[in-house]
């Protein structure tokens, strides 16, 4: 097996990276492939074995003939990384051994098989250094074509997403020194597509459309990888423009840094992050200022956001992973994994994971956007953060904190209304159902499951909070006032059907209007109990929740009868498209 260390020329600097060559070779390419230009009776079988995260073993066996017409098998394997379509496999012939007994065998080198996986219908193959004792040809090149079906289904885009062959970079991008890699800079305009035959490398801040100017629609195909190489590289969708990043469970779209997850250099802060700016309301302006004129500027100079359109659409994020981002520009200016800035509820956010982010995993700056099936893992700061009057909905959320994070105050949730005016309107009041927050306590830092402060509202149901030093901390006079009293809650801040289990379950402070414990115990279905999880999943000992009525919470929510993010391990919605859950 060889090491595949590649490079990309950016800004005149040669940066050694783990960037590979576009297509992710995995289960999509399993099955029987043959040479269509020769007679039947010979072919190659491919089998992919996941090793994870973002890597696997591709095993190949070929049925071939020697110069005398005698058939024999050659076999080999290569470790492949996600986004790597160039394989080098050392082929072997095997002699000795018996069918029904254990006996010694000999592996004999046959040749080196180099494969360029061009798309789901074609592999360009070169075999060199062929054993001259078996065949007189020492080098052979040919093209492999798959059988028409795989697992009983036609190998079209619904089965294998890589349908086109890389032919070069489009006009809006420039060629890289890296195979099948295009560099994107500046501002995108019009209808633009990131195809999945290409690795797309962001250089600097790349803006989808121009705020107040020319708009753009960015489409990203399933299975595409979008990479940043430095902390200054990020993608920002501007107001009025849209992103359509719709992956699949078998082919998620991945935003990542320059290194594969298996590389020791892969980690938080490798690149910037993803920013989406919208026209929904925020609450940072004086009441006399109309929402249409109320705007803010995103961290990292990522664009303006805010407006008077709560149902604004910024596109679709579906089956998307954002990993190893969140560059810390300074203590007050940091890029989140995903920043939803005044994004409206016309935007679809479903099946999204953020992993190993230097700052917060996801932060909502106002707006009304909703989200389902969210995974936040290995976050160095707060997994979920909101401010500026966010009023969206979330169902099915897993947050598993990073035990090695250096931040001394990391939280599962850090929730604000608005720091400068705790009673600003519209008040932050998201509705969150079926969430699991798993902490990583440490002697060197304070970890808290939920910090609800600065006037925020929120409505929680079917939630698990466990493994933190502290579970629940309600702060700020405005937060208590907005909530009411434990026996007479206003509905602005509620928590029901929730299970907590931490070293200290309630953070109590002198001067608070009421205790966190009184707030928690006054509401139905809440309990202090061990949730008895198996890693992130429920077990037969996990407390069963009350049935949530979607007629009360709204049509966005599914009707379920369990607490936490999952009903069972077998039916977990994380299966297939997520990584880094162990």
DSSP assignment of 69-116 equals S-EEEEEEEEEEETT--EEEEEEEEEEE--SSS---EEEEEEEEEEEE
Residues 148 and 216 in one domain: no
Q: Which of 262, 311, 85 minimizes the C-alpha distance to 178? A: 85
pLDDT number for residue 465: 98
pLDDT band at 79 (very low <50, low <70, confident <90, very high): very high
Measured at the alpha carbon of residue 238, what is the angle toward residues 194 and 296, in degrees to the nearest 5? 150
Residues 391 and 496 in one domain: yes
pLDDT number for residue 409: 76
Q: Give the chain's count of helices (H) and strands (E).
A: 3, 46
pLDDT band at 406 (very low <50, low <70, confident <90, very high): low
pLDDT number for residue 95: 83
Residues 136 and 44 in one domain: yes
Give residues with Cβ within 8 angstroms of 342, minimum separation 6: 239, 277, 278, 279, 280, 281, 282, 295, 296, 305, 306, 307, 365, 366, 367, 388
Q: Is residue 393 part of a domain?
A: yes
Determine the average pLDDT of the residues in 430-459.
92
Residues 186 and 250 in one domain: yes
Measured at the alpha carbon of residue 567, what is the angle toward residues 531 and 370, in degrees to the nearest 5? 100
Boundary of a domain, candidates 129, 154, 179: 154
Conformational region of residue 287, where left means phi above 0, alpha means psi within -120 to 50, and beta covers everything else: alpha
CA distances to 189, 217, 277, 292 from 296, in Å: 23, 23, 10, 12
pLDDT number for residue 334: 83
Conformational region of residue 227, where left means phi above 0, alpha means psi within -120 to 50, and beta covers everything else: beta
Q: Is residue 27 part of a domain?
A: yes
Give the integer Cα–Cα distance in Å for 557 and 566: 14
Measured at the alpha carbon of residue 375, what is the angle toward residues 82 and 300, in degrees to the nearest 5? 85
Determine the average pLDDT of the residues in 95-121.
87
Q: Which of 345, 220, 214 minimizes the C-alpha distance to 278? A: 345
Per DSSP, 299 falls in state G
| pLDDT of 481 above 80 | yes
| pLDDT of 13 above 50 | no
Determine the average pLDDT of the residues in 232-249.
98
Residues 255 and 276 in one domain: yes
Strand, helix or coil for residue 29: helix
Residues 309 and 436 in one domain: no
Q: Dump pLDDT digits (tens) for 336-376.
A: 999 999 999 999 999 999 999 999 999 999 999 999 999 99
Q: Is residue 358 part of a domain?
A: yes
pLDDT number for residue 41: 57
| pLDDT greater at residue 325 or residue 410 | 325
Q: How many CA atoms lie within 13 A of 550 on its CB side?
A: 11
Determine the average pLDDT of the residues in 472-485.
99
pLDDT number for residue 8: 36
pLDDT number for residue 155: 77
Q: Is residue 387 part of a domain?
A: yes
| pLDDT of 103 above 90 | no
pLDDT number for residue 249: 95
Structure tokens at 525: 């279905």
Boundary of a domain, candidates 368, 398, 426: 368
Q: Dump pLDDT digits (tens) for 122-171.
A: 999 999 999 998 899 999 999 998 876 555 567 788 888 999 999 999 99
Give the integer Cα–Cα distance in Å for 202 and 235: 7
Q: Dump pLDDT digits (tens) for 370-383.
A: 999 999 999 999 99
Residues 378 and 361 in one domain: no
Per DSSP, 324 falls in state S
Share of the chain above pLDDT 90, in %: 79
Residue pair 564/542 in contact (Cβ under 8 Å)? The answer is: yes
Q: Dump pLDDT digits (tens) for 457-474.
A: 999 999 999 999 999 999
Please provide residue 293's backbone torsions phi and psi, each rounded to the nearest 5 degrees: -105, 0
CA distances to 109, 308, 316, 479 from 348, in Å: 52, 19, 5, 30
Average pLDDT along the chain: 91
pLDDT number for residue 552: 80
Q: How many CA atoms lie within 13 A of 284 on its CB side?
A: 20
| pLDDT of 558 above 90 | yes
Q: Is residue 394 part of a domain?
A: yes
Residues 350 and 395 in one domain: no
| Strands 199-202, 181-184: pairing kind | parallel
Predicted structure pTM score: 0.94
Structure tokens at 14: 């040669």
pLDDT band at 38 (very low <50, low <70, confident <90, very high): low
Residues 255 and 316 in one domain: yes
| pLDDT greater at residue 123 or residue 328 | 123
pLDDT number for residue 330: 66
pLDDT number for residue 551: 72
Determine the average pLDDT of the residues in 442-466.
92
Q: Is residue 283 part of a domain?
A: yes
pLDDT number for residue 156: 81
Determine the average pLDDT of the residues in 4-21.
41
pLDDT number for residue 113: 98
Q: Is residue 163 part of a domain?
A: no
Structure tokens at 160: 């294998």
Give residues with Cβ within 8 angstroms of 404, minimum separation 6: none
Determine the average pLDDT of the residues in 325-340.
84
Q: Is residue 5 part of a domain?
A: no
Give the integer Cα–Cα distance in Å for 385 and 419: 13
Residue pair 573/254 in contact (Cβ under 8 Å)? The answer is: no
pLDDT number for residue 20: 57
pLDDT number for residue 12: 35
Residues 148 and 192 in one domain: no
Strand, helix or coil for residue 404: coil
Query: Minimum mean pLDDT among 7-16, 272-281, 313-322, 399-408: which range?
Result: 7-16
Give the integer Cα–Cα distance in Å for 192 and 169: 12
Number of domains in the chain: 3
Residue pair 245/220 in contact (Cβ under 8 Å)? The answer is: yes
| pLDDT of 2 above 50 | no
DSSP 123-191: EEEEEES--TTT-S-SEEEEEEEE-SEETTEE-STTT----S------TTSEE-SSTTEEEE-SEE-EE
Boundary of a domain, candidates 301, 334, 368: 368
Residues 391 and 362 in one domain: no
The domain of 130 spans: 21-154
Determine the average pLDDT of the residues in 421-442.
95
Q: Which of 250, 269, 244 minimizes the C-alpha distance to 258? A: 269
pLDDT number for residue 45: 94
| pLDDT of 1 above 50 | no
Dihedral over Cα of 480, 482, 484, 486: its sign: negative
pLDDT band at 444 (very low <50, low <70, confident <90, very high): low
Length of the chain as a residue count = 582
Give the integer Cα–Cα distance in Å for 434 and 497: 10
Share of the chain above pLDDT 70, in %: 92
| pLDDT greater at residue 3 or residue 531 | 531
Residues 141 and 182 in one domain: no
């Amino acid at each position: 097996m060889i090491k595949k260390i590649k490079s990309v020329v950016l800004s005149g600097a040669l940066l050694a990276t783990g960037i590979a060559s576009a297509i992710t070779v995995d289960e999509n390419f399993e099955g029987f492939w043959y040479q269509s230009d020769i007679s039947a009776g010979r072919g190659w079988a491919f089998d992919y074995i996941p090793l994870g995260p973002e890597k696997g073993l591709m095993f190949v066996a070929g049925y071939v003939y020697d110069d005398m017409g005698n058939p024999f098998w050659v076999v080999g394997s290569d470790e492949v990384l996600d986004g790597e379509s160039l394989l080098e496999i050392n082929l072997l012939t095997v002699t000795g051994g018996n069918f029904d007994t254990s006996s010694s065998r000999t592996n004999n080198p046959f040749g080196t098989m180099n494969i360029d996986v061009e798309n789901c219908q074609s592999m360009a193959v070169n075999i060199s250094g062929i054993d001259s004792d078996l065949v007189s040809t020492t080098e052979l090149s040919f093209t492999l074509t798959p059988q028409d079906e795989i697992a009983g289904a036609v190998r079209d885009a619904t089965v294998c997403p890589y349908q086109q062959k890389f032919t070069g970079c489009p006009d809006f991008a420039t060629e890289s020194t890296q195979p099948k890699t295009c560099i994107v800079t500046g501002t995108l305009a019009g209808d633009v597509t990131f195809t999945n035959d290409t690795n797309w490398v962001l250089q600097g801040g790349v803006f989808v459309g121009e705020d107040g100017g020319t708009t753009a629609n960015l489409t990203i195909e399933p299975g595409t990888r979008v990479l940043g190489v430095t902390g200054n590289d990020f993608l920002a969708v501007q107001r009025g423009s849209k992103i359509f990043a719709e992956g699949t469970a078998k082919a998620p779209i991945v935003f990542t840094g320059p290194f594969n997850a298996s590389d020791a250099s892969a980690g938080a802060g490798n690149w910037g992050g993803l920013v989406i700016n919208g026209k929904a309301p925020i609450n940072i302006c004086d009441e006399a200022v109309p929402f249409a004129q109320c705007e803010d500027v995103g961290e990292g100079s990522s664009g303006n956001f805010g407006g008077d359109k709560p149902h604004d659409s910024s596109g679709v994020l579906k089956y998307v992973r954002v990993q190893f981002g969140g560059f810390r520009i300074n203590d007050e200016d940091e890029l989140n994994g995903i920043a939803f800035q005044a994004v409206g509820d016309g935007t679809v956010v479903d099946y999204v994971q953020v992993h190993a982010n230097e700052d917060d995993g996801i932060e909502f700056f106002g707006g009304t956007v909703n989200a389902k099936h969210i995974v936040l893992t290995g976050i160095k700061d707060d997994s979920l953060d909101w401010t500026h009057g966010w009023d969206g909905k979330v169902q099915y959320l897993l947050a598993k904190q990073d035990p090695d994070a250096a931040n001394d105050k990391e939280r599962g949730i850090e929730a604000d209304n608005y720091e400068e005016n705790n009673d600003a309107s519209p008040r932050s009041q998201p509705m969150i159902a079926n969430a699991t927050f798993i902490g990583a306590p440490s002697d060197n830092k304070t970890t808290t499951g939920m910090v609800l402060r600065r006037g925020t509202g929120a409505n929680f149901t079917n939630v698990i909070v466990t493994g933190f030093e502290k579970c629940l901390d309600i702060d700020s006079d405005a937060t208590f006032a907005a909530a009411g009293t434990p026996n007479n809650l206003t509905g602005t801040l509620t928590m029901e059907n929730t299970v907590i289990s931490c070293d200290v379950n309630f953070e109590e402070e002198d001067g608070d209007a009421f205790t966190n414990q009184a707030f928690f115990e006054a509401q139905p279905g809440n309990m202090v109990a061990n949730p008895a999880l198996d890693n992130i999943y429920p077990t037969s000992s996990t407390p069963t929740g009350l049935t949530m009525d979607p007629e009360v919470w709204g049509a966005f929510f599914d009707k379920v009868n369990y607490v936490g993010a999952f009903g069972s391990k077998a039916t977990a919605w994380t299966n297939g498209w997520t990584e880094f859950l162990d």
